[in-house]
Structure 1
Amino acid sequence: MADFIIGPDFDGSRVDRFLRKMFPDIPLSRLYKDLRRNRVKVNGRKAGGKDRLHAGDRVTVPYEKKQSISLSSDVPFLYPIIYEDEEIAVVDKPGGVVVHKGSGHAKGLIEEFRASFGL
């Protein structure tokens, strides 16, 4: 079992889309089966696939959290970190460097950061 606290990135997202994003290796048939069998909970209550998530919600799923196999932890992080603590890191990123993957970019600064620090 794994718990997730929903952040602002998934605020307003549907439960089924959140699960598909977080667990791309699990077949859709299993995700929907687990939703139908009430194995997925939001704030301790059964969740339907069309239910909406809100920032701060706790989602409990019957799967283990996995690191992406495409990212290795031996990747050096090339950008200077100006400030960091347990909750935040401030990175000095040059202009033109992509922050989030997508829109034709396989990875962004966030994915590089996670890969470098094993997150």
Structure 2
Amino acid sequence: MPEAVIGKALWWEDHILEVRHGLPPGVEPGTTPRPEYGTDRSLTARQRAKAAKLTASGHPVMPSTADHRRRGYREQEVIGLADRRPMRKTPQYGEADEAVVDACGRPSTRPSTHRPGHSPSHGRRSSRG
């Protein structure tokens, strides 16, 4: 996983922990949560507050993104916060189902034996030049 992706996931972790528990990691024991992250507020309200705070600080975030990240963290911890888009591979045959590719036949990886001026299916010289 690229370092930039790991760094961004760890950045998100601090924010998601504040949404989940009301406090960011590393605070002194006995610290009370900010009012917008208090445990008396709903999870949805805390996510909205976090999205507003991040947006105001120059990181535009929708509340749905905060929810998506929180769910990812709940299911997979830090790896669930990673943006996998930079790591996705484009399938060799695009969106075509592998069964369709197999049924139609995969393109040959052998060099072409076709010679210019010859019909590839009949082996006879074509009338073109």
Give the structure with the larger helix fraction: 2
Normalising by structure 2, we get a TM-score of: 0.22
The structure showing larger relative contact order (alpha-carbon pairs under 8 Å, at least 6 residues apart) is 1
Give the structure with the larger strand fraction: 1
Normalising by structure 1, we get a TM-score of: 0.23
